[in-house]
A and B are shown apart, each in its own frame.
Chain A
Amino acid sequence: MSPRNISAIASRELAFFFNSPIAYIAITVFLAVSGVYLFVLYDFFGGNQATIRPLLEQIPLFFILYIPAITMRLVSEEKRAGTIELLSTWPVTDTEIVLGKFFGAVGFIKVTLLMSLVFPLIVSSLGTLDLGMVLGGYIGLLLLGGAYAAMGLLTSTWTKNQIVAFILAVLLCAFFYAIDGMVASFWEGGRDAFAFLSFRAHFANIARGVLDSRDIIFYLSVMVVALALSVQSLQARNWK
């Protein structure tokens, strides 16, 4: 595995976002929605508390739409345009392609999160902010975002249609986000039984500012599984 190939592919993906208006529009919309949620819908000022916890709890929900929109074109566009044929006859392995594209998307998520630091900054100017919670929350968001991105990349390998990839990724993310709640709607005991699979349940501690190794391992495992399946899906063309 060549880090050089992975970083070349990742940089190209990042450059694609920032050379087109898409990145700026997406980040602006994301910040606007977050700001409206925190300061208007949530009634931040009525709560009289300098905390960004309500926002940390909400971002995993926003990400269900935001991250599939970033990842939908990663492989599907290469399939549609036929560039996958060149990419896969260059001396790069399918694993390098998948990791490169994944890190490109993660890079974009990092930029988004960096921009959203504006909210903790505003809040900290209004009162004393729990910095540990902010740090823990952001690490958690990056892990969760990575898990979404890996699933979005996976659905992008399944089709040459970006919209199909987007819808499948949203469904997949929403399913794993709320699986415990969905099971609980017809079997109350299922909430605890399925919490181990639920993105929301694994985020509960993180939103409180507690980074538990179980949650970290969970998100990392989701990434590994989804990325491995993506490599598998790319290699499917090698079936005789």
Chain B
Amino acid sequence: MIEVKGLSKAYGELEALREVSFSIERGEIVGFLGPNGAGKSTTMKILTGYLPQSAGSVSVDGKDIGEDSLSVRARIGYLPESTPLYTEMLVYDYLAYVAQIRAITKSEIHDRILETTRLCGLEERLGQEIGTLSKGYRQRVGLAQALLHRPDILILDEPTSGLDPNQIVEIRNLIKSLGEERTIILSTHNLPEVMATCNRMLIVHNGALVADGTPAELQAREEENPRVRLVVRGATGDDIDKLRDLEGVEAVDAGVTVEDGATAFEVSAVRGRDARPALLELVSNQGWELVEIHRLVLDLEGIFRKLTKDV
């Protein structure tokens, strides 16, 4: 649906984006991830037609964002970073203004505003001046603005930044429910956000795309030695060599006593091998009592840091 090819953007000497290519299918919720200044906002500004690219192309269902700008823009709902709004306007008046510009017919405007504000949890604030709203409610006004014309593409730049934890959960749930029928691209430097809402992530770093896939795919790809945590009762720290001798085991971290006589080991397997069956067999042969065994996954934060580390 959205096709991005060789996208580059330079601000004078500064190269903000370098040859970024990806394509997004209808119905995907894509998380754009990267440290501050990685090129997330620049990409979004280009996708929405606010900034021109220096090189490359963006098309939506085959229509070029530059040549068919108006018709592409009509299909996109956009929430820019920091949610710029006309603070002196009432919520209702603002949305009525947006509705006019979005070519919603006059007779439909009122119902559409009610429907959209109900979806965003704003219906109580329709008569309030935007400047007097809390940050969370302003964010909802920004979202309502982006949703009013029922766009099939939503582009949200840091939709939860600056919100408190409750508001973050509410906005995430809203985004998730919207994603059932729309294509959503959201940017964030917040990992739990991607985990909670997205089914695909694109990681950018220094203007280049460094990873593209589902969170699980990225985890699998980046994990070099699958690690297993084993806690047993009856073994001592001296039994560590028995673990080391097992087939498929590369290294074992010293056993430490954790709780009433139980000892914990952290086992690294040889790449591509699962050490768990061998470990379980050893536990039963030795007559140890199994307390816990589970695979330690490299969490997304670890992957993120690894990919966006400056070399």
Contact = CB atoms under 8 A, between A and B. Distances in A.
A41 interface: no
Contacts of A8: 97, 100-101
Interface in B38-55: 45, 48-54
A12 B97 contact: yes
Interface in B48-94: 48-54, 70-71, 73-74, 76, 78, 80, 82, 84-89, 93
B84 A81 contact: yes
Nearest to A239: B52
B87 A89 contact: no
Interface stretch (A90-98, A105-113, A181-189): A90-98
B151 to A, nearest CB: 11
A4 B100 contact: yes
Contacts of A9: 101
A62 interface: no
Given A4-B100, A8-B100, A86 B70 contact: no
Nearest to B94: A12
Given A91-B70, A91-B103, A82 B50 contact: no
A82 B157 CA distance: 14
Contact of B50 (A12, A15, A81, A89): A89
B70 A93 contact: yes
B113 to A, nearest CB: 15
Contact of B48 (A15, A89, A93): A89
A23 to B, nearest CB: 13
A89 B78 contact: yes
A214 interface: no
A128 to B, nearest CB: 46
Given A20-B88, A83-B84, A91-B101, A240 B49 contact: no
B13 to A, nearest CB: 15
Contacts of B78: 86, 89
B189 interface: no
B98 interface: yes
B49 A83 contact: no
B103 A4 contact: yes
A91 B84 contact: no
Contacts of B182: none
Interface in A180-239: 237-239
Contacts of A89: 48-50, 73, 76, 78, 80
A25 B172 CA distance: 45
A145 B71 CA distance: 36
Nearest to B55: A240
A240 B93 CA distance: 36
B100 A86 contact: no
A81 B53 CA distance: 24
B97 A81 contact: no
A240 B11 CA distance: 9
A90 B88 CA distance: 20
Of B76, B89, B101, B145, the most chain A CB neighbours within 10 A belong to B101
A238 B51 CA distance: 6
B102 interface: yes
Contacts of B87: 81
B74 A91 contact: yes
A237 B51 contact: yes
- The listed residue with most B CB atoms (<10 A of its CB), out of A12, A19, A239, is A12
B98 A90 contact: yes
Interface string A1-31: 0001100110010011001100000000000
Nearest to B47: A89
A29 B102 CA distance: 38
Given A12-B97, A238-B52, A240-B53, A90 B73 contact: yes
Contact of A86 (B51, B74, B84): B84
A91 B73 contact: yes
A85 B80 contact: yes
A88 interface: yes
Interface of A: 4-5, 8-9, 12, 15-16, 19-20, 81-86, 88-93, 237-240
20 contacts: A8-B97, A9-B101, A81-B86, A82-B80, A82-B82, A82-B84, A83-B84, A83-B86, A85-B45, A85-B84, A86-B84, A86-B145, A90-B73, A90-B98, A90-B101, A93-B70, A237-B52, A238-B52, A239-B52, A240-B53
Q: Which 7 A-B pairs have the closest CB atoms?
A: A82-B84, A8-B100, A91-B74, A89-B48, A83-B84, A91-B73, A85-B80
Given A8-B100, A89-B78, A237-B51, 8 more contacts: A4-B100, A5-B101, A19-B88, A89-B48, A91-B71, A91-B74, A238-B52, A240-B54
